[in-house]
Structures are given as structure tokens and as C-alpha cells.
Chains A and B, each alone.
Chain A
Amino acid sequence: MRLPIQPVFLWTDILIDLLVVCTVIFIVYGIRKGHFRAIVRQIGKRPMAVVAFILLLCYLFVGLLDSFHFRLQLPSDQPGKETQEYGPDVLSALDFLVTPLRTHVEKTYSAPLAKVGYTKETVEDKAGVKHRIYPPLLYPGGHILGTDKVGNDVLYLSLKAIRTGLVVGSLTTLMMLPFAVLLGISAGYFKGWVDDLIAYVYTTLSSVPGVLLIAATVLMLQMYMDTHAGDFNSSAERADVRLFFLCLILGATGWIGLCRLLRGETLKISTLEYVEAARALGVGHCQIIFRHILPNVMHIILISAVLDFSGLVLAEAVLSYVGIGVDPSMISWGNMINSARLEMAREPIVWWSLTAAFVMMVGLVLSVNILSDAVRDALDPRLKER
């Protein structure tokens, strides 16, 4: 008996699964030790933060559904016999759940909930007389947010774009955290030439304007992928590899801020009495770092991870507009905005795809920002004193 589906693991899927496992472990650990009580209390105090939290959970739910990819088994051409073939399209669980949205494709633009097409067409009636009318849609009233240039449902596109936004925001953080934490803490703890070297590396990297470094790297990557086009099995895989590298590059430019903060904080902490006491007792460097320093800079790591997230989601849209973001074939808010931008000049204007992309983006970024405010107020001891 063969499975009716064949799971497909894209690179970013695997990393997302890893991230989910890490987060769950972190949360369980935190709840056991009672670290999250302050955060939960802060969020509970603010109705707006509660709403933001629920909204964020919805986004996460859609994003996770969209991160499980598979190929469907093809329908058998001989009844009673199972085929061994799987379809060529890589679908996600979300695609499967919203199949009507995905498959109800119109010819071109249509306004939200419209019953007729966007442009007039010449249609022949039964008697053979030509009329110039708005042609009825294939699925009248079926597109809550209208359709885009090639007739795809805008609601479907906006839902699919959630995963891209979340991946850019979260995977980048996942990739930069180890660097930032390791380098920042060792620079502050070991001082001397280690500190000099690490400070040199991050000063050099941060001197290059971020956008230009990203542009240069993405251009190089694109060139590499063009010359090695044979290495990729499907366009989805190709787009996924590009997304992965985009996260990597954003991470390479993004770790510097946190690294600097951690270096400063570790410099302060490593002169405190309890660290000196540990050193006097003969505790090793590793143990001092993991037992005494890391837990005391955890709040900085958490705050900056949440703060960076929203910036990254916004950056994705801008980078995609510039042409150095995600693959043009990948559905993302940046690509939606980019393709809809020129349609503002049309009459009547095509406003729905732009609006949908902006509203979805604001929903995610605003809820993360509101939550991050609550988290910061809960964890930053300096703010507590006031």
C-alpha cells in the first residue's frame, strides 16, 4: 500500500521544523523555571497585546500549514489499479485545504466580489451578434479580494505570502543567533586579542551598507544559479534555495547589532563578584559562560530577536521590490506589491492586491511590534525601576 501523498522536504521546511522544536523546548523550559511569568503578566495587562498575540498565532498557524509540502498521487487511468506516479506540483497542506481558492482562476483582473470581468470584451451571443460587454466571471462573486493580472485569487496569494514573510523573519534570526551569541559573549569574556579580532570583523562588515552587501551577494548567487541551472529539480526548489540564501545573507548582516550589545553586557557581567567567585573556585570558561553569563543576557537576546523580526518582514518587501529579494516566482508581499504597483495608473484602478498585501503585512508587523513592547517592558530591568 503506497501513501496517497509523497512528502517533500524543502530546505526551509526542515529549518522551520527545527525552529519549532527549539521554540517548544525553550518555552517548556521557560515555563518550568517560571521565566515567562513576567511576560505573561505584562501581556495580560494590555488588551491590545492579547489581541496582537492571538493575531500572531493565526499567522503562525497558516505559516506552519504552508510549510508541510508534498506531492499528490496522480489519479489512476486504469480503474482498480494504483498508479506509482506522483504529480509534478509540490503542494502544501494549506494549498490542499484551500483548493477552491487555488484552482478558481479567472482570465485576468476582477474586483473583489465582482460578478463580471474587469475589462470589456467582445462576446458573440447565440444569434451570432457581437456585443461589447463586461464578460461574466467563471466564478462570479467567488473572489472575496478579487484576482490579480493572471487571474489568481488575491486572498490565496496573501495567505501564501504569510509563509514567506515568517520564514524571512524567523530563519534569519535562527541563523544569526549562534554567531551573535557566541562571538559577542566571547569578545566580552575573553577580552584581549579575541575582542580585537571580533570587533574588527564586525566593524568591517557593518561598514558595508547593508542593502549593497545584500545586493552584491544576491547578484552573485543569482549568477551562480543561472550558470548551474541543472542542479535544481523544480522551480519550487530553486526558489526555496534562494529564499534560504536570502535569510543567510540577511543573517550575516544582522548579527552585528546583537553581537555588540552582548559584548558590552558581558564586559559588565564578567567583572561582577559572582563570576569572579566562580573563577576563584576553578570553574572552567565554558561553564562560566553557559551557567553564569548566558542566563543573564538572555533577556537581551529575546528582546532583540523579537525586535529584528518585524524589521526583517518589512525588509523582505523592499528587497523584493528592488529585485534582490525572494525569487520572482515565489509568492510574497513584496512581489505582490511589485506587480501591482504599475496598475495604479489604470482606470479604474486596481487597488485590491496592493491593499491586501499592505494590510496583511501591517497585521503581522504591528502585532509583533506591540508584543515586543510588552516583552521589553517585562524583561528590561531599567524600565522596571521607573
Chain B
Amino acid sequence: MHAMHTGKFSRADFTGGTLRGLTGFACVIIIAIVAVIVGNIVYHGIGNLSWEFLSEPPRKHFTEGGIFPAIFGTAALVILMTIAVIPLGVATAIYMHEYASKRSRVVHLVRLAIQNLAGVPAIVFGLFGVGFFIEFVGRGLDRGLYGGALVYGQPAILWAALTMALLTLPTVVVATEEALRAIPQGYREVAYSLGATKWQMIRKVVLPQAAGGILTGGILAVSRGSGEVAPVMFTGAAYALPDLPSRLNDQFMELGYHVYVMSTQAFDVEATKPALYSTVLVLLLLTFSLNFTAIMIRARIRRRLRNGR
């Protein structure tokens, strides 16, 4: 088209071609980076990956055996976190959207704060976890219930789970509110006009419709919960534990924390390298599949909304 201006290849075309080329090259670089990272991890990690690796505890300073305790610990952490975060997060979103006045300034501020809390660094949550949960609440419990003995005033899976729950709370609240907002107001009016109380309306119309969005938020929270290390580093995660966590005040092993410690502090890097890569691969697969599931659910919901089901 620009050839119509001048009969020959002009300087403008050259710049245009360069711009197109450069920006396209940027895309290529990014795609290459992702390919290299994933490829490198898969290549070095897949060899060691086996059912034994996933189901057995480590032996000989992590050069043999498996990472089952880390998987178990991660799962336990995430389950506790979910028990705390889903009811609180969903209730908060329901309160803000269905119960509070739409013109309340306080609610508006709270919503703003929740949305921006997502950008606060994870280590700050870890700091809070240590300073508040362990030192303040934990020691307080110890003084009050156990006469000063060290029971809860130390790193424990309970505190790590609560810290993680605070970290992921905004994710759940935002996802639930998004789902609530997508429900046409007409449904609520119809329910009221047929004699529903507020809770009946929420239970029978709103929650079933919002279920998909809530599920998405939950899965994203779980994905973040299993991948973030900073919040659990000092609130409960540990490196080499003889037993699996069985009580709320036990410490636990965790996949991400395990990767961190193994890669920075293990004394025989070469020998532990295969196990390390495989652990990373497991962590990667876990977060990928969770994210993928959440994306699929979200896409299905969007498609259904567009078709006006």
C-alpha cells in the first residue's frame, strides 16, 4: 500500500520493516526463553521421575529415594490453607456484593485495599507470619494454655497455613466478586418477588451461578499456595524432618522450600542435582496443571456467558 506513495522502497518502509522485525523478534525471544527454561527442567528432571520418587522418603542426604514428605507437606499446607481461605474469602465477597450498601465508602475502600494487597511482596506476609502468628499469638497461647512451654510459639504448619491464607485471600475475594457481578440482577429480583429471603436467594440462585468463578479463584489460590516459598520459610517449612506432620504445631517439608534449600545449601551439588531437577519438575507440573485447570474453567464460564445459557 505504501508503494503507492513512491515508486520505490522508501525510508519509511525501512523503518516500518525494522519496527515490525524488532517487535517480532521480542516475541521470539520470549517464546525462546520459556522454551529453554521448561525444556531444561524437563530434560534434566524427567530421568529421575518415577513412582518411587513420588512415593518414598529421601535417603542418603537426598541423593536417593524420593520426595514424598515434601509432596505430603505441600498438600497438607494447601488443604489447611483452603479450609481457612475459601469460606472467609467467599463470605467477604458475598458480604460486599449482596449485603453492604452499594454506595458505602467503607466498602469501596476495603475493595481497593484487597485488590492492591495482591501486589504486596510475599516476604512481607512471611514477616507478618513470624511476628504476629508465631511470636504474638503462638507465645500468647503458650503462656496462657501451657504455662510458658514452647508449643505454639514456634514454626508450625498451622501458622504457615494461616499466613498463606492471608496471602491468597485477595485472590479468592476478587474472583468471587467477579463471579457475583456477572450474575444478572434480574435473577435476584425474580427470587425476591417469589418470596425468597436473602439467604434463600443467595443459596438457590447466586451461589450455584457463581460456583464456577469461586472454583477458579480457589484453584488459583491453591496454585499460589503450593508455589510461594517466602511466606512459609520461617513460619513452618523445614528441610529434613524424620516424620510427616501429624499435629497442627508440627513443622513440615514443602516442595518449593525443598528446592530452595537443596540448591543453596546442599554440600554435594553434583550428586543431588538429579533429585533437585526432578523436584523442580514435580513442582512445575503441579502449578502448571492447577493453572491450566483454572484457565479452562474460566474459558468455559466465559463461553457460557456469551452464549447466554
Note whether A and B form a binding pair: no
